[in-house]
Structure 1
Amino acid sequence: MPRRPAARFRPVLAALLCAGITAFPACAPADPPACALIFSTNDTHGRLLPAEQSWSEGRPVGGSAALAAYVARERSATPECPLFVVSGGDIMQGTPISNFTDGRSTIEAMNGIGYDAAAIGNHEFDWGVDVLVERIADADFAMLGANIYLKGTDRHPDWVRPWTIVERDGVRVGFVGATTRSTPVVARPSLVADFDFRSISDALDRYIPEVRAAGVDFVVAVMHEGAFCEIGLPEDAADACRGPALEALAAATAPFDYAVTGHTHSRLETEIRGVPVIQSYSNTMAYGLGRIDRSAEGVVGAQRLGVRQAWADEIAPDPDVERLVASYSAEIAAIVDRVIVDLPEALSAPRDGDFPLGRIVADAQRHASGADVALMNNGGIRRSLPAGPVTFEDLFELQPFNNMLVRHTMTGAQLLRTLEHSARGGDVDLHASGIVVRYDPGAPLGERVLEVTFDDGSPLRPEGRYVVTANDFIAGGGGGYTTFAEAEVIDPLEVADLEALVAYLEAQPQPLPIPRAPRWIAVPSGP
């Protein structure tokens, strides 16, 4: 059997074989070595100013001017590799400095930082498509949604770009972007009713070949879809990290070189088929950094350089971005700095369950609407509150969506089905005011609520009639809450959730009494 040529003779043989026949594929000139740095954020939610966090021990974290400075630092640290800046989406909604301008201030700050691309997040739709289209026009970077289609068609809306290519220092990187398929549930349904949010893996398989055919060195998948890693497990352990973003990437057959995710506000550092996947918490608290290389032999490999904390006191802020943010901040200072309430202790906001901060919000909505019951979704409670003086800005960031309150006259049976839907995941995702619910998280779906008692001690009667207040997100079907639409009377109020909360807190004794008694009481069955 002939032996393969020794490695030291292969270049000589290749040169002899390819002399004068460069049209033969194996003899075509190889692409030169190349590299790219990928600087990523996700879920910045209009966080243009640095802020202290509950874990930061009084130190300021994040903000646009600090991020711009970190971009410059990382770029100068590796000058041989051009740096590209990308976001995993949900960029604008969440703070007064951004919301009061319908996100214009955020887009200007991102332009100043030098973003190249961003996935469209579900909260990009919060102010309606017309505003989103305006912000897309304002952006110096591409906002991408390869899986967003006009409902029932195979066409994208005119304002959606599935991919973009950015060239810097001779290196061309293609970005293919996508949006969480849960958008019709986690966004206000009426705002996205004209669109389908289809398979992310199908979108990647459709457009990555198109991007490669356009001529790129590397392809980056960027999506507003997320995952979580189990704390304490090594990230390369089987099933250490799970979630729909990883499922979509694993299902895609078209090869990509790096992936940036978002939506779950988590730290994610893992791999899919050896390709790095990253997510960097939220609210500009951190950024992700990775590197993609192509060798002289044409082999492409990538590595995560880590999720890095964006301490605002460790770096001199970018002066241009700092001036921009300061000008917007000055315009709203008189409104946002006003103290509303004094808290005797810090109040946390877990992702699920029944907790004091959520009870306070639900109490405020019942007080504002005069209802028998108020129900507040956990997803609308966006931050914790510190002990001591709490400002309007703090409360705005707690409830930034300007959801309006809606009163419903419902039967007891309809209210019961609504509560069952809250308990569908084992834990609950609604806060209640006016009732106490006992439930079995392990019982079959639809049979978990055991008992509902009103504040006056009376039980819920299926045939009874009750006035139930909810915000217009869940009242409109958000979160899968369809029973509100079945109410006998639906009465939209001219009261926003934040307005109700501010009025309620200002009317309470100071410091604020904390409602500690649980309103959802788990009663597990079995041994």
Structure 2
Amino acid sequence: MRTLPLLVSLAVACSSPPKKDPAPRQPPQKRAGSVTLSIIGTNDLHGALERLPILAGYLVNLRAARAADGGGVVLLDGGDMFQGTLESNLSEGADVVRAYNEMGYTATAVGNHEFDFGPEGPATTPQSIEDDARGALLSRAREAKFPMLVANISDKTSGARIKWPNMPPSVLVEVAGIKVGIIGASTESTPFTTMPANFVGLVMAPPTAVAIAAESTKLRAEGAAIVIVTAHIGSKCADFEKPTDTSSCEKHEELNKLINDLPKGSVDAIVAGHTHAGIAHRINDIAVIESFSSGRAFGRIDIRIAADGRVTAVSIDKPRAVCAGETATNPVMVADCKPGDYEGKPVVPEPGVQKIVDEALARAKVRRDEKLGVTLTGKVEKSYGSESAEGNWFTDLMLAAHPGAHVALTNGGGLRADMPAGDLTYGRLYEAMPFDNRFALVDVKGSHLRSLVSTNLQRGGGILSWGGLTAKGRCKGGKLDLEVWVGGKPLDEARAYKLVTSDFLASGGDGLLGRLKLPAGAIKITDVIIRDSIADILRKKKGQVDPAKLFSPTSRRLDFEGQRPISCAAKSPTKPTDQEPPE
């Protein structure tokens, strides 16, 4: 649900660290023979527990293969582990930690959505001075048998890196006799891609590359033969046939900037995350993997270390689908999952992890399976970067919940899953809208609405979905000519309108409403969870819903030519923004 430009600490976060040679390495320790370390990377689980027993089965086979040849396995996660499914959210991620403990994770990164739950308990943000905005996260860290690493978040007042239990900047572990340094980092957009109230008092600092370089120098001095970064920072590649061919990879994402800023030789491998995309490439001589999201796949890097301590070979596997044949457009139900063989043996779900997952699913089953009385005649699709049936439907339902409002607004990152045809259950609704966002009512002028629409059309990132508002934009005379209607009538720039949206957006998320500089008292945040209010409306409404009536490519609520971001200057190709959210 959260995607936006970084607006605070810009001078610190965007400064490019000077390139310099890393500190001299300690002489490597000699061993009797070569050793292979297999690095397995996962990322952006978002509470999708169901495939974890199968993934654990892959790990059983791989660990047996490495034990047979004297090597070892390093298991890492790139963050955003907890938030996203009913079964995980009910325990605020505790069952994910239990499963990861059972699977033997070596370390994880801290994603922006790790901050989403706020204090322990039902409140998603602090309600009193006694509430700890990071209470749920700190509890998960205390329960974890693995460190949750973060090198680039600091206390805003003191400037010192946070010192929370089991959340160090880096860790040195020994695997098959090899000293391995692991560093964690979070996306610099974290302050505005979680509930802003839960990040108060913190700052993204030092700059990520500076933080990683400093930790790498320390780890090398302590004898690390290889240094791995696990980071909730990502990019995107389309072709995985040749790891050395990066022509299909994005070049301007946060991960690319980080890699360019790192001192040469400071990092051997990166397990990435955040963009819900795939990477299996060698970038600036660093092996990099990212494996989509929701437990659908994992990445693998094998590093061969000679008896004298030198790295002699690095291989990078394509992202491996946990269920054979599964893709983003061809999902496979876990009940139908056929993982096949791995490392020469059939993959069998691991019983210990299965027990944890079964218990979590059982606790959520009654609510998940509740039918809301609405039948979808076709799939209701989401989209991050373009208008969608799901975005239109949800904003219409937000208006139905607040009939006194003129306009409803939500963001593309808040739409998390398609809803399949058939009887709509609470569980399906929850997957599409997993965040416990509350309604917010905002008093705005017509000029504010125009600014929101115009800015979103001329910028990339997530689309804004609108209810009660339509717009038509065309380039004229080198500028965007924008017509806007509210309730079927032309927008009145001076008129007061009532906007219904989420507390996330109203409190500064995505940096949207903050730019409007609204007067004090313009925003009223309620205690009503948007998703649950929508469920109540659907229970009363019942009947059928036809997705074709929610969105038509020939009759859009936002009518514009080409792709966002719209540029009315000299024509140049624009990059589509309809991809997985950089959460």
TM-score range, shorter chain: 0.7 to 0.9
Kept in 2, the 8 Å contact 1:229–1:235? The answer is no
Partner of 1:48: 49
Matched with 2:318 is: 306
Indicate the residue corresponding to 1:406 in structure 2.
440
RMSD: 2.4
Displacement of 1:84 after TM fit? 1.2
Give the alignment of 1:228-377 within 5 angstroms: 228-230=236-238, 236-237=244-245, 239-242=247-250, 243-253=253-263, 255-300=266-311, 301-311=313-323, 312-314=337-339, 315-340=347-372, 341-370=374-403, 371-377=405-411
Determine helix, strand or coil for the equivalent of 1:75.
helix
Mapping for residues 106-145 of structure 1, pairs under 5 Å: 106-128=96-118, 129-145=134-150
Match 2:87 to one of 70, 74, 97: 97
Aligned: 1:34 with 2:32: no
For residue 233 of structure 1, report the CA deviation from its aligned partner.
9.3
Residue of structure 2 aligned with 1:161, choices 159, 168, 172? 168
Contact map agreement 2:473 2:483 (CA 8 A) in 1: yes
Question: Residue 132 of structure 1 aligns to a residue in which SS?
Answer: helix
Q: Conserved in 2, the CA contact under 8 Å of 1:152 and 1:196?
A: no
**Partners of 2:240 and 2:281 within 8 A in 1:** no
Number of the residue aligned with 2:493: 462
After superposition, the C-alpha distances for 1:59-85 in whole angstroms (9 at most, x for unaligned) are xxxx11111111111222333220111
Aligned partner of 1:58 in structure 2 is none
CA offsets 1:209-234 (integer angstroms, 9 cap, x no match): 11111222221111000101245996
Cα shift readout 1:158-205 (whole Å, capped 9, x = no counterpart)? 213100122233222111010000111211212112111132211111
Q: Matches of 1:320 and 1:428 in 2, distance apart? A: 39
Q: Tell me how far 1:105 sits from its aligned partner.
A: 0.8
Alpha-carbon contact 1:124-1:132 (below 8 Å) kept: yes
1:497 is aligned to 530
CA change 1:428–1:100 in 2 (3 A) is: closer
Query: What do the CA deviations read for 1:363-409 (whole angstroms, capped 9, x no partner)?
Result: 11111122100001110111111111221111111111100010111
For the 8 Å contact 1:438–1:452, the answer to whether it is kept is yes
Q: Residue 320 of structure 1: CA displacement?
A: 1.1
CA separation of 1:442 and 1:180: change in aligned 2, threshold 3 A: farther
Query: In the alignment, residue 463 of structure 1 is paired with which amino acid?
Result: A
CA distance 1:213–1:478, shift in 2 (3 Å): same
Is residue 218 from structure 1 mapped to residue 226 from structure 2 by the alignment?
yes
Does the CA-based 8 Å contact 1:87-1:118 persist in structure 2?
Answer: yes
Bigger Cα displacement from structure 2, 69-78 vs 179-188: 69-78
With over 3 angstroms needed to count, the CA separation of the structure-2 counterparts of 1:404 and 1:484, relative to structure 1, is farther
| One-letter amino acid of the structure 1 residue matched with residue 136 of structure 2 | V
Contact 1:377–1:431 (Cα < 8 Å) also in 2? yes
8 Å contact kept, 1:257–1:302: no
CA distance in 2, matches of 1:282, 1:362: 26
If you compute each CA radius of gyration, which structure gives the higher value, 1 or 2?
1
Please tell me whether the aligned partners of residues 435 and 452 of structure 1 are also in contact (alpha carbons under 8 angstroms).
yes
**Does structure 1 retain, via aligned residues, the 8 Å contact 2:188–2:204?**
yes
Q: Does 1:66 align with 2:74?
A: no
**Worse overlay, 384-393 or 399-408:** 384-393
Do 1:477 and 1:485's aligned partners in 2 also have CA atoms closer than 8 Å? no
Structure 1 pair 277–336 and aligned structure 2 pair: CA distance change class (3 A): same
Alpha-carbon deviation of 1:258?
1.1
Helix, strand or coil for the counterpart of 2:489?
A: coil
Equivalent residue for 1:522, pick from 554, 560, 566: 560
SS of residue paired to 2:288? strand
Output the TM-score relative to the length of structure 2.
Answer: 0.79
Q: CA deviation at 1:504?
A: 2.9
Distance 1:448 1:383, change over 3 A: farther
Confirm whether residue 424 of structure 1 aligns to residue 449 of structure 2. Answer: no
The corresponding residue for 2:577 is none
Are 1:426 and 1:442, in contact at CA under 8 Å, matched by a contact in 2? no
**CA offsets, 1:87-136, max 9 Å, x none?**
00000000111100111111001111111100000000001211101100
Going from structure 1 to structure 2, the CA distance change for 1:476 and 1:29 (only over 3 Å counts) comes to: closer
Cα drift, residue 239 of structure 1: 4.7
- Determine the C-alpha separation between the residues in 1 that align with 2:108 and 2:402: 39
Instruction: Tell me by how many angstroms 1:353 deviates.
Output: 1.0
Q: Structure 1: give runs of 5+ residues left out of the alignment.
A: 1-24, 50-62
- Unpaired segments ≥5 residues, structure 2: 1-24, 119-133, 324-336, 340-346, 563-567, 572-583
For 1:441 and 1:46, locate their aligned partners in 2 and report how far apart those are by CA, in whole Å. 43
Using the aligned pairs only, state the percent identity.
28
Relative to 1, partners in 2 of residues 1:138 and 1:442: Cα closer, same or farther, differing over 3 Å?
farther
1:205 aligns with 2:210: no
> Using the alignment, how far apart are the partners of 1:285 and 1:225 within structure 2?
19
CA contact (8 A) 1:42 1:88 kept: yes
Task: For residue 501 of structure 1, report the CA deviation from its aligned partner.
Answer: 2.1
Query: Structure 1 CA distance, aligned partners of 2:476 and 2:99?
Result: 47
Q: Does 1:78 align with 2:86?
A: no
From the superposition, tell whether residues 140 and 428 of structure 1 become closer, same or farther in structure 2 (CA, over 3 Å).
closer
Shift in Å, 1:427? 7.2
Tell me: CA distance 1:26–1:143, structure 2 relative to 1, closer, same or farther (3 Å): closer
How many Å apart are 1:480 and its aligned residue? Answer: 1.1
Residue type at the aligned position of 2:262: A
In structure 1, C-alpha distance between the alignment counterparts of 2:474 and 2:460, rounded to whole Å: 8
Conservation of the 8 A alpha-carbon contact between 2:380 and 2:421: yes
